[in-house]
């Protein structure tokens, strides 16, 4: 996509010299920012704009444009793309709205656009977008007026599904002094989608950090694959998170592994940082734009004792260690102390130091300490004559952070707006303690996940997008057959049609046995009166058959061995529309029903990753041995999770599965599946 971001010739469709014309703003933006390539305005009325001729069609343009930007009524877009194809244009940006985001009836129009673009091998952005910006070559293509003094070049690139979000991120990155490199408004993603842009931005040398705003995910597995294979930090703000499942009562996994939970799990697996609002996304981008936190030892410097306490509390909350400053560090501080009433500790209270310029020297001394991995400085100007000195402290702190390769963040709330007119501070600034320490924890987590994340690259095969048809409940024999085929331990069972067959099967399995309704359409057998446990004699089995037949009308039954008591857990999985097969683990019984204490991963997972899932639930102490009970066989459990994840990855027709419960025994004892239900989706 290099040609999309570094064109030499641009055609702009829909231009006129009317002051109300929006397409003229595209041409004016390019002129205002000093774009050095050729620009060809195209409009049906001709005339001129800014001394340029407005061509009536692209056929009148001599050279072949590298890209064409379109801001014409939606109904004219197919014709415009056709003319670009004949001309030889390879990239198109469709800013026009009026497609399916406006009315479902426009789907045929979108199909025509895609068909014509494929015919001419054209790749396009949008439709319904604000376009793209590249600060490297002054490629400023939005139809809203932009100005050089409102933009700042920096290391962050953002692709957003909303043009308004893109512009807001531009303003925020500029205000915070971070700047941006490339901005992309993706619009309807009818052709190029977030994975195409992410792949390009990962390869782009000028982009150091990537941000994505997504309302839906085109291919979650591809997103994970790209993110896992790069060192570049990626921050995603995913909206449109309200639950939409309609089968919550049918499968626990469907209820507990909703679309948004799956998205969070998949992003975490791939090393993507997920933000939950715009401010959080901005905070994440700015901390990831500076030197990483390579350990957990913080140096805290504060002008106020109260703020020092708040920072220390936040550091404890986020799992940081307060670094031990050396005596040499404290000796340098003592030379500037006025009244000698501050303690030489970490956090360091700088309230007795009235030479604000010396604060930057303290930051440098802290960064020089071998036992310090990052520094937080809390300071606010209390009068106007301190503004310039405060700005200089923050500016130098940014330089020192880059020099020593350790992160420095500042905390200040009073008169904050007075520090930013030049936007040249170079250090992330936060309005309060918790936000600053949270940012440092993200920087630490980023550094810790690098090696592990790279090792996971390529673990997620492409999403199977074959046509899907009608779903049906699998029979018990089918469900248990799948489970046994992948090496999962299931209780012995037999499917029978009545008491005679049942008595014979019970003798072969051995009493006591369990009797269940065998009808695959009955998902929750217990609620339907379709389960009898502890049947110890043939006469008791006959009685259970009579009662169950009379109550349910069932004609097919399941005879199953009785498993010894143990610790109940649930394993489950489903096919997610954005991420494909997903695996779930949690404690069984009321823990899954009420506490919703589960761990999720995108499948397949390794036994090591399954171990992380087991250790990741809140109730893990019940598996490790609680109040004298022996620890469970979590090694076998991890292997079961791995095997089930492979089953789901290899069989996309398994749309839902609940194994609840799997009874787990002590170390070396493994486990046994005593109930499972499965949904199969046939190919259309």
pLDDT digits (tens, 9 = 90+) for 66-103: 999 999 999 999 999 999 999 999 999 999 998 887 67
Mean pLDDT computed over every residue of the chain:
89
Q: What is the pTM of this model?
A: 0.89
2-247 and 567-683: identical CATH topology: no
* Predicted local confidence at residue 246, as pLDDT: 39
Helix (H) or strand (E) holding 223: helix 220-228
* Predicted local confidence at residue 31, as pLDDT: 96
Domains of the chain, by residue range, sit at 2-247, 297-455, 492-561, 567-683
From CA 68, how far away is CA 422, in angstroms rounded? 36
Q: Looking up tokens 């919703």, which residue turns up?
A: 596
> What's the rounded mean pLDDT across residues 675-683?
87
From CA 318, how far away is CA 576, in angstroms rounded? 32
Rg (C-alpha) for the chain, rounded Å, is 31
Helix (H) or strand (E) holding 26: helix 23-33
From CA 541, how far away is CA 556, in angstroms rounded? 15
> What's the rounded mean pLDDT across residues 602-626?
91
Band of pLDDT at residue 456, cut at 50, 70 and 90: low
Band of pLDDT at residue 458, cut at 50, 70 and 90: low
> What's the rounded mean pLDDT across residues 393-398?
92
From CA 523, how far away is CA 527, in angstroms rounded? 9
Q: Which of the two residues, 375 and 381, has the higher pLDDT score?
A: 375
**pLDDT of 489 above 80:** yes
**pLDDT of 249 above 60:** no
Q: Of 171, 129, 125, which is closest to residue 151 (Cα–Cα)?
A: 171
- Asked if residues 302 and 311 have their Cβ atoms less than 8 Å apart, the reply is yes
**616's tokens:** 């990741």
Q: Which whole-number Å values give the CA distances from 603 to 217, 518, 572, 647, 678, in the listed order?
A: 17, 29, 11, 9, 17
> What's the rounded mean pLDDT across residues 284-309?
94
Band of pLDDT at residue 256, cut at 50, 70 and 90: low
Residue pLDDT, tens place only, 341-366: 567 899 999 988 888 899 999 999 99
From CA 225, how far away is CA 222, in angstroms rounded? 5
Q: Of 310, 423, 279, 278, which is closest to residue 376 (Cα–Cα)?
A: 310
DSSP 396-464: HHHHHHHHHT--EEEE--TTGGGG-TT----S-EESSHHHHHHHHHHHHHHHHHHHHHHHTTT-SPPP-
* Predicted local confidence at residue 420, as pLDDT: 52
- 216 Cβ contact partners less than 8 Å away, ≥ 6 residues apart: 161, 240, 578
**pLDDT of 527 above 60:** no
Fold for 297-455, please state it: Rossmann fold (3.40.50)
From CA 585, how far away is CA 639, in angstroms rounded? 12
Residue pLDDT, tens place only, 20-40: 999 999 999 999 999 999 999
* Predicted local confidence at residue 247, as pLDDT: 42
Q: Looking up tokens 């939606």, which residue turns up?
A: 74
Residue pLDDT, tens place only, 550-588: 877 778 899 999 999 999 999 999 999 889 999 999 998
**pLDDT of 14 above 50:** yes
- Measured N-to-C along each axis, helices 607-616 and 634-650 cross at an angle, to the nearest 10 degrees, of 120
**pLDDT of 186 above 70:** yes
Which CATH superfamily, name and number, covers 2-247?
NAD(P)-binding Rossmann-like Domain (3.40.50.720)
Bridging pattern class, strands 91-94 and 123-125: parallel
**602's tokens:** 């995108």
Helix (H) or strand (E) holding 48: strand 48-49
* Predicted local confidence at residue 422, as pLDDT: 42
| 557, β-bridge pairs | 496, 517
**pLDDT of 245 above 80:** no
* Predicted local confidence at residue 184, as pLDDT: 98
Pick the range with the lowest mean pLDDT from 152-166, 195-209, 490-504, 539-553. Answer: 539-553
Alpha carbon dihedral 663, 665, 668, 669, in 10-degree steps, equals -70
Report, at the CATH architecture level, how domain 492-561 is classified: 2-Layer Sandwich (3.30)
* Predicted local confidence at residue 267, as pLDDT: 94
> What's the rounded mean pLDDT across residues 4-29?
96
CATH number of this structure's domain 567-683: 3.30.470.20
Q: Which of the two residues, 653 and 524, has the higher pLDDT score?
A: 653
Q: Which of the two residues, 415 and 292, has the higher pLDDT score?
A: 292
**231's tokens:** 């060192």
* Predicted local confidence at residue 454, as pLDDT: 46
Q: For residue 364, how many C-alpha atoms fall within 13 Å in the half-sphere facing its CB?
A: 12
């Amino acid at each position: 996509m290099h040609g999309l971001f570094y064109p030499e010739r641009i055609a702009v469709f829909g231009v006129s010299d009317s002051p109300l014309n929006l397409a003229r703003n595209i041409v004016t933006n390019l002129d205002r920012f000093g774009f050095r390539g050729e620009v060809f305005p195209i409009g049906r009325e001709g005339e001129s704009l800014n001394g340029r001729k407005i061509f009536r069609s692209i056929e009148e343009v001599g050279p072949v444009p590298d890209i064409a930007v379109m801001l014409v009524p939606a109904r004219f877009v197919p014709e415009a793309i056709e003319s670009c194809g004949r001309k030889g244009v390879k990239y198109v940006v469709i800013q026009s709205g009026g497609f399916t985001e406006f009315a479902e009836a426009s789907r045929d129009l979108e199909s025509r656009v895609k068909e014509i673009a494929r015919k001419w091998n054209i790749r396009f952005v949008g439709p319904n977008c604000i376009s793209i910006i590249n600060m490297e070559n002054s490629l400023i293509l939005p139809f809203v007026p932009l100005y050089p003094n409102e933009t700042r070049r920096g290391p962050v690139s953002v692709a957003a599904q909303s043009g308004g979000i893109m512009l807001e991120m531009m303003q925020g990155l500029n205000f915070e002094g971070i700047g941006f490199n490339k901005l992309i408004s993706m619009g309807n993603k009818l052709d190029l989608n977030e994975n195409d842009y992410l792949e390009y931005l990962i390869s782009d040398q000028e982009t150091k950090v990537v941000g994505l705003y997504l309302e839906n995910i085109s291919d979650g597995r591809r997103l994970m694959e790209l993110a896992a294979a790069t060192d570049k930090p990626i921050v995603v703000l995913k909206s449109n998170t309200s639950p939409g499942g309609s089968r919550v009562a049918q499968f626990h996994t469907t209820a507990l592994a909703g679309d948004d939970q799956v998205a969070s799990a998949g992003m975490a697996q791939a090393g993507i940082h997920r933000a939950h609002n715009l401010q959080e996304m901005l905070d994440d981008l700015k901390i990831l734009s500076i030197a990483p936190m390579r350990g957990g030892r913080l140096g805290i410097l504060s002008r106020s004792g109260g703020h020092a306490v708040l920072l220390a509390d936040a550091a404890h909350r986020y799992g940081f260690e307060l670094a031990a400053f050396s005596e040499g560090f404290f000796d340098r501080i003592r030379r500037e102390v006025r009244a000698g009433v501050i303690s030489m500790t970490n956090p360091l209270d700088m309230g007795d130091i009235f030479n604000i310029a010396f604060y930057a020297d303290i930051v440098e001394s802290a960064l020089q300490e071998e036992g310090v991995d990052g520094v937080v400085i809390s300071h606010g100007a209390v009068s106007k004559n301190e503004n310039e000195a405060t700005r200089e402290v923050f500016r130098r702190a940014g330089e020192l952070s880059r020099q020593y390769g350790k992160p420095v963040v500042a905390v200040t709330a009073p008169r904050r707006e007075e520090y930013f007119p030049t936007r040249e501070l170079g250090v992330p600034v936060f309005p309060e303690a918790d936000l600053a320490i949270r940012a440092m924890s993200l920087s630490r987590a980023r550094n810790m996940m690098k090696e592990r994340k790279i090792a996971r690259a390529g673990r997620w095969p492409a999403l199977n997008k074959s046509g899907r048809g009608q779903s049906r409940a699998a029979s018990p024999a089918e469900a248990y057959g799948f489970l046994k085929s992948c090496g999962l331990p299931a209780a012995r069972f037999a499917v029978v049609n009545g008491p005679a067959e049942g008595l014979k099967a019970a003798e072969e399995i051995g009493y006591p046995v369990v009797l269940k309704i065998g009808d695959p359409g009955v998902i929750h057998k217990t609620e339907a009166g379709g389960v009898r446990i502890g049947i110890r004699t043939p006469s008791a089995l006959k009685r259970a058959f009579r009662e169950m037949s009379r109550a349910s009308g069932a004609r097919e039954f399941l005879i199953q061995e009785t498993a010894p008591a143990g610790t109940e857990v649930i394993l489950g999985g489903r096919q997610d529309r954005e991420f494909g097969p997903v695996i779930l683990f949690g404690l069984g019984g009321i823990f899954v029903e009420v506490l919703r204490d589960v761990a999720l991963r995108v499948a397949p997972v390794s036994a090591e990753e399954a171990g992380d899932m087991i250790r990741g639930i809140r109730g893990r102490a019940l598996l490790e041995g609680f109040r004298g009970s022996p620890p469970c066989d979590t090694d076998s459990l991890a292997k079961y999770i791995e095997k089930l994840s492979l089953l789901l990855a290899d069989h996309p027709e398994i749309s839902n599965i609940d194994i609840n419960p799997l009874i787990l025994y002590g170390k070396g004892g493994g486990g046994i599946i005593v109930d499972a239900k499965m949904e199969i989706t046939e190919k259309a």
